[in-house]
């Protein structure tokens, strides 16, 4: 008898269903009540009787029928009861995020802090599901990004600029790690050379990312990818800037990334930061990977 471990083939199996059929399942109030009842404890399976009670769908025949319709797509049965599938969690998440229910605006809030490029004033605003943190004086510091409307009222108005900024860093980190902020599909980046003096933040090239699946795109400065490299995050931390915690506009206190092209075709760029007698130098490849990092003492 062999006792060798069988590692499996690693084959990926994905079963597709038509979006029309799947979304059609949600066009019923009782089914949404059942999903929301499961969403009350998203990490604990709910026994049948408890789910029936929570859902508020009184007629047990109707409850059974609609639960059956949700099974296999949005709901899974386990030995301990019923639970949301990933798709079910996404539906609950979308309801909480306010995607289908909120239509919010936030009028301009002055930001405590100043533009890292020109020192001008900053304002945060929100409209059409887009948050922005912009310099009022120059064209160089402009950040616009999708923000879930249902999360707005979880913050006091004065907390919002920082909440927007942290959300933006969170999304950019996901994009740089290669995942789409819309569909969680694979996202690939490329370095795009700019005409002289027209690059974001004065750099000669910027970063563009696109989702292979849904086509969502993101554009960042060519200096952004290095900020998420662990060695650069360590450099920033040692110089008083905690990436993703310290507001982006305070990066100017450590220094803004500078860079020069190493080649145009394919585009490659050297990007560096310097502060207080130290420099960290990175090489950014055309697919947005960082092929080298060096931290050096400067005179």
* Nearest to Zn ion of 98, 120 (CB atom): 120
| Stretch 101-140: interaction string toward Zn ion, x if CB under 5 A | --------------x-xx-x--------------x-xx--
Closest CA to 236 of 223, 251, 220, 221: 251
3-state secondary structure of 201: helix
Whole-number Å distance between alpha carbons of 149 and 88: 20
The alpha carbon of 251 is separated from its chain's Cα centroid by a whole number of angstroms, namely 20
Quickly list DSSP for 226-273. HHTSHHHHHHHHHTT--TTTS-GGGGGGT---EEEEEEETTEEEEEEE
The percent helix, strand, coil of the chain (3-state, each to 5) is 30, 30, 40
Tell me the closest approach of the beta carbon of residue 215 to Zn ion, in angstroms. Answer: 7
Applying CB under 5 A, among 81, 174, 185, 234 the residue interacting with Zn ion is 185
* Nearest to Zn ion of 120, 255 (CB atom): 120
Token pair 């887009």 is at which residue?
Answer: 130
Closest CA to 224 of 264, 259, 187, 261: 259
Q: How many residues bind Zn ion (CB under 5 A)?
A: 16
39 contacts Zn ion (rule: CB under 5 A)? no
182 contacts Zn ion (rule: CB under 5 A)? yes
171 contacts Zn ion (rule: CB under 5 A)? no
183 contacts Zn ion (rule: CB under 5 A)? yes
Tokens of 234: 């360590």
* Nearest to Zn ion of 137, 256 (CB atom): 137
Tell me the closest approach of the beta carbon of residue 254 to Zn ion, in angstroms. Answer: 17
Tell me the closest approach of the beta carbon of residue 41 to Zn ion, in angstroms. Answer: 30
214 contacts Zn ion (rule: CB under 5 A)? yes
- Residue numbers at the binding site for Zn ion (CB under 5 A): 115, 117-118, 120, 135, 137-138, 141, 180, 182-183, 185, 211, 213-214, 216
């Amino acid at each position: 008898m062999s006792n060798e471990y069988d590692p499996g083939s690693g084959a990926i199996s994905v079963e597709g269903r038509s979006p029309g059929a799947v979304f059609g399942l949600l066009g019923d109030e009782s089914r949404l009540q059942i999903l929301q009842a499961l969403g009350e404890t998203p990490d604990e399976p709910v026994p049948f009787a408890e789910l029936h009670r929570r859902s508020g769908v009184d007629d047990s025949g109707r409850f059974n029928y609609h639960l059956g319709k949700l099974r296999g797509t949005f709901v899974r049965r386990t030995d301990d009861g019923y639970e949301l599938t990933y798709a079910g969690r996404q539906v609950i998440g979308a309801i909480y995020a306010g995607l289908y229910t909120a239509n919010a605006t936030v009028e301009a809030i002055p930001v405590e802090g100043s533009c890292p490029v020109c020192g001008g004033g900053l304002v945060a605003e929100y409209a059409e599901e887009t948050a922005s943190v912009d310099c009022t004086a120059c064209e160089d510091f402009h950040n616009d990004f999708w923000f879930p409307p249902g999360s707005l009222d979880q913050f006091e108005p004065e907390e919002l600029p920082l909440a927007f900024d942290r959300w933006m860093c969170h999304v950019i980190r996901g994009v740089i790690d290669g995942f789409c902020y819309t569909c969680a599909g694979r996202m690939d980046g490329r370095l795009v050379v700019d005409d002289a003096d027209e690059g974001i933040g004065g750099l000669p090239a910027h970063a563009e990312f696109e989702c292979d699946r849904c086509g969502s795109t993101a554009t960042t400065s060519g200096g952004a990818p290095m900020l998420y490299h662990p060695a650069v995050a360590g450099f920033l931390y040692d110089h008083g800037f905690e990436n993703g915690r310290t507001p982006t506009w305070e990066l100017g206190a450590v220094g803004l990334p500078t860079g020069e092209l190493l080649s145009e075709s394919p585009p490659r760029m050297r990007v560096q930061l310097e502060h207080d007698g130290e420099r960290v130098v990175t090489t950014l490849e055309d697919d947005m990977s960082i092929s080298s990092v060096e931290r050096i003492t400067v005179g």
